[in-house]
Amino acid sequence: MIAVLKQGVTEAQKQNLINWLKSLNLGVHVSEGEYQTVLGLIGDTSKVDIDLLSGLDIIDNVTRISEPFKCANRRFHPQDTVVEIGSGDNKVKIGGGNFAIIAGPCSVESESQIIEVAKAVKASGATLLRGGAFKPRTSPYDFQGLHGEGLELLRKAREATGLPIVTEIMSAAHLDMFMDVDLIQVGARNMQNFELLKELGKINKPILLKRGLANTLKELLMSAEYIMSEGNENVILCERGIRSFDTYTRNVLDLSAIPVLQELTHLPVIVDPSHATGKSRLVKPMSLAATAAGAAGLIIEVHNDPIHALCDGAQSLTPEQFDDVARKVFQLREFI
């Protein structure tokens, strides 16, 4: 249920109302807009007398909503969320008209690799560095990432370039190791690892939540809700392609997810054209398409030597190819 307050309601009147709603065992999510305050009532709203509530002189209108996601719902929070990543001069904003490119290798392999790639993607306009330290591989015999050492190398690359770092967490047991990561990624395979999501909801760090391999947009939003309902509202959603019957591309990029999610939620939506297609030559057209469709950012795999990459070389761009993609994307952004 959402209750929109009238303009000019005093702080004391608002607090009284919130206290009363809380006394009914409801959670109250307050969204302060420029002109209006919207209260999202979370929990069992069947006890709320809608006529009584609507009749209060400080209430503009009350609506029962059927969507099960409350915190992520645009109806509760009409203005776009802007997620801030990193600090100081290198702080990056995503959402609310702010666009950013995250780039870097699938996995961190060595100090020279990650630093070389970080410097190159920065020079081309990327403002965040990606790199996996814990890799979710289909086969247990494949390279699993450098784990703690990988995180350490990402920190070194951040020191060398100033780029905030983005890397994937696979288990809540690793959370302590991730406290220095600027944007924590939840990969497609963990989108419904609810215990992990709840733990990430308790920290004060931005989360990049990728859509699961075969998950609906509503399921993606419910996963965001797991994080947000614990208190962490800094969530960025990522469309990275879904499984379908055509195996020509690694996945099928659902570009309509961008405008659909923008209708349903205030959270920023970015696109991963690398995992969506699995083919480096398709990354440029899909990056441009996602940008044209209104994505708040892109996450692109870049490797200094794709043929020898330990993971996802076929979809990785060389730094030169990335430079071309970034240039065209920024040019296109000027028309949006």
Provide the mask over 123-142, with x wherever binding to ligand PEP is found by CB under 6 A and - wherever it is not.
Answer: ---------x---x------
Provide the pairing of β-strand 59-63 with 165-168.
unpaired
| Interface size with ligand PEP, residues (CB under 6 A) | 11
CB-nearer residue toward Mn ion: 116 or 312:
312
Question: What is the spatial distance between Cα 190 and Cα 168, in angstroms, rounded to a whole number?
Answer: 10
Indicate the SS3 state at residue 30. strand
Position 187 contacts ligand PEP (CB under 6 A)? yes
Find the binder of Mn ion among 5, 71, 102, 106 (CB under 5 A).
106
Please, which residues bridge with residue 21 across strands? none
CB-nearer residue toward Mn ion: 106 or 133:
106
CB-nearer residue toward Mn ion: 193 or 251:
251
Find the binder of ligand PEP among 106, 114, 217, 267 (CB under 6 A).
106
Q: Chain centroid to CA 193: how far? A: 16
Q: How many CA atoms lie within 13 Å of 19's alpha carbon, on the beta-carbon side?
A: 6
Position 188 contacts ligand PEP (CB under 6 A)? yes
Question: What is the spatial distance between Cα 99 and Cα 262, in angstroms, rounded to a whole number?
Answer: 14
* Position closest to ligand PEP via CB: 187
Beta strands in the chain (DSSP E): 2-5, 27-32, 37-42, 59-63, 83-85, 92-94, 100-104, 128-130, 165-168, 183-186, 207-210, 235-239, 269-271, 297-301
Question: What is the spatial distance between Cα 102 and Cα 94, in angstroms, rounded to a whole number?
Answer: 11
Directed axis angle between helix 148-161 and helix 111-123, to 10°? Answer: 40
Sign of CA dihedral 227, 228, 232, 236: positive
CB-nearer residue toward Mn ion: 93 or 250:
250
Minimum Å gap between C-beta 312 and ligand PEP is 7
Position 275 contacts ligand PEP (CB under 6 A)? yes
Provide the mask over 305-334, with x wherever binding to Mn ion is found by CB under 5 A and - wherever it is not.
Answer: -------x----------------------
Is residue 160 packed enough to be buried (19+ CB in 10 Å), middle (13-18) or exposed (0-12)? Answer: middle
Query: Quick check: 126 and 102 in contact, CB under 8 A?
Result: yes
CB-nearer residue toward ligand PEP: 76 or 322:
322
* Residue 188 near which of ligand PEP, Mn ion, none (CB within 5-8 Å, type-dependent): ligand PEP
Position 182 contacts Mn ion (CB under 5 A)? no
* Residue 187 near which of Mn ion, ligand PEP, none (CB within 5-8 Å, type-dependent): ligand PEP
CB-nearer residue toward Mn ion: 254 or 312:
312
* Residue 136 near which of ligand PEP, Mn ion, none (CB within 5-8 Å, type-dependent): ligand PEP
Query: Which residues in 215-244 contact ligand PEP (CB under 6 A)?
Result: 240
| Interface size with Mn ion, residues (CB under 5 A) | 2
Residue ranges binding Mn ion (CB under 5 A) = 106, 312
Which residues of this chain interact with ligand PEP, rule CB under 6 A? 106, 132, 136, 168, 187-189, 210, 240, 272, 275
